[in-house]
A and B are shown apart, each in its own frame.
Chain A
Amino acid sequence: MKTDDKSFYNIISDDEIRVVGTSTTEPPATNQPQQASQPVQKQPEPKNRFAIWHIIVAALALAAIVFALWLLMPPANTAQQEPVPDEPSEVNVIIPDSTTTSIEPEYADMQTDTINDIQLRIFTPHGGRPELVIGNLQADTTRIILAAQAADVRGDNGEISGAFILKGELISKGLPKLGFCSIINNEITIGRQSETPLFERAIEENGYFFRQYSLVSNGEMIDIKPKGKAIRRALCYLRGSICIIESTERESYHDFAQALADYGVEECVSLVGGEAILKYKPADSPLLTEGKVNTDYEYVNYIVWMSNK
């Protein structure tokens, strides 16, 4: 009797014997099978042992997969890893136009507040013109009013995660996340929708577009898959204006999204958090910079409110 299981031939203890060509330790069939097999019946059935081995191997493989997934989970604070795609929900899809607003102010103020025991910093730009920038943000610091890292950059290939349009040029395709932000003719729109005409408009009208996690949609929090805690940051539509809200402590996406919804945010998409760079210019002081500049990837990108002056 043959067996194709190669591991079978490696599984035998020093207290066992096995007639080669049989799949068990039993001797070949005889006229007195009972007697002939008596000595080897003391040994465990190899098939059972295979089953045990298979279970052990399967359990180890499963543990390895779980561990690998845990390692690959976006830690959040790093923009280099693409989080698990957010599954769309028709209930939560909103019309992006409802969150459209115009931005005109000229500086960025920062306020703190607390909701659900989560301390938030709210950066609101006053003036300037929002746009997306790829690459070195240091080049034109004199005009920056508010800037933060926008779309995630994939750690595996260094490309931007999801659709990204820069001055009408399509830089990246894809829909890993349902949240989006478009900037077209100084009009900034954030929302949650798998297909939006603003994508085409951004191309046609030399605008900007990127995708991120939607954390709050139509005033309701969105519970997204990535776990772990980090400093969270989001681009939010709050009480009629656009702002960037950041948690001062490491928070889960869930708690952060819930806090934003409870705080009154109507629509919001996440930004790169953790140690990602944030720049803002208060009304009475020069440009302030927090976090680290990411020079590891070519396509590190920012949403920036640039002064028109």
Chain B
Amino acid sequence: MIEPLIISNSTDLLRIMPSDILCIKAEGNYSVVITSDGEKLLVSFQLGQVEQMIAEQLSTEAQAFIRIGRGVIINRNYIFTISIPHQRLGMRSAQGHSVQLEASKESLKQLKHFVEQYTAERREK
């Protein structure tokens, strides 16, 4: 059974299924969770703290998420386009909501390679 991710502080709580997360962007000392339907939810945790919550709460499900540089965590299931020359990463959910993210060429190279490898392995299986 897939468990929800709970991001909670002393006053607020966000309970969200991993599959509902498109990406999470750093916003200074806060983070913005962008859901698969395009909603943006501000949480009062730094991106590293959110990453830690994902890792600790979601177990193997956490590996659906990839931290890209200092600025964003993506749900790799929603990777749509990668453009290394333009340093662009397109995310799109099943509901059709899309987000364009910026990332370094080097990180996008690694991400592209990872996606290709991962997909190839799944096909072999």
Contacts and interface: CB of A to CB of B under 8 A. Distances in A.
B19 to A, nearest CB: 15
B34 interface: no
B56 interface: yes
A20 B117 contact: no
B55 A17 contact: no
Interface in B41-67: 46, 48-49, 51-52, 54-56, 58-60, 62-67
Contacts, number: 94
A2 B69 contact: no
Interface stretch (A24-32, A127-135, A258-266): A24-32
A39 B55 contact: no
A77 B56 CA distance: 56
Given A31-B121, A32-B121, A20 B48 contact: no
Interface string B100-119: 00011011011101100110
- Say which size band chain A's interface belongs to: 20 to 34
A20 B55 contact: yes
Contact of A27 (B56, B71, B114): B114
A113 interface: no
B70 interface: yes
Given A32-B117, A36-B117, A16 B69 contact: yes
B12 interface: no
Interface residues of B, number: 37
B45 to A, nearest CB: 11
A20 B62 CA distance: 6
Nearest to A3: B55
Contact of B118 (A3, A12, A21, A36): A36
Given A3-B55, A14-B103, A21-B60, A39 B114 contact: yes
Contacts of B63: 19-22, 28
A14 B71 contact: yes
A179 B118 CA distance: 76
Nearest to A43: B110
Contact of A9 (B52, B68, B103, B125): B52
A285 interface: no
A296 interface: no
A36 B49 contact: no
Contact of A15 (B48, B60, B104): B104
Contacts of B114: 17, 19, 27, 36, 39-40
Nearest to A25: B110
A37 to B, nearest CB: 9
A14 B110 CA distance: 12
Contact of B67 (A6, A17, A38, A43): A17
A22 B55 CA distance: 8
A136 B18 CA distance: 74
B69 to A, nearest CB: 4
A18 interface: yes
B49 A39 contact: no
B73 interface: yes
Given A14-B104, A15-B106, A21 B117 contact: no
Contacts of B117: 27, 30, 32, 35-36
A20 B124 contact: no
Interface of B: 46, 48-49, 51-52, 54-56, 58-60, 62-71, 73, 103-104, 106-107, 109-111, 113-114, 117-118, 120-121, 124-125
26 contacts: A6-B48, A9-B51, A12-B67, A14-B70, A15-B69, A15-B104, A17-B110, A17-B111, A17-B114, A18-B66, A19-B63, A19-B65, A19-B67, A20-B55, A20-B65, A21-B60, A21-B62, A27-B114, A32-B121, A35-B117, A36-B117, A36-B118, A38-B113, A39-B109, A40-B110, A42-B110
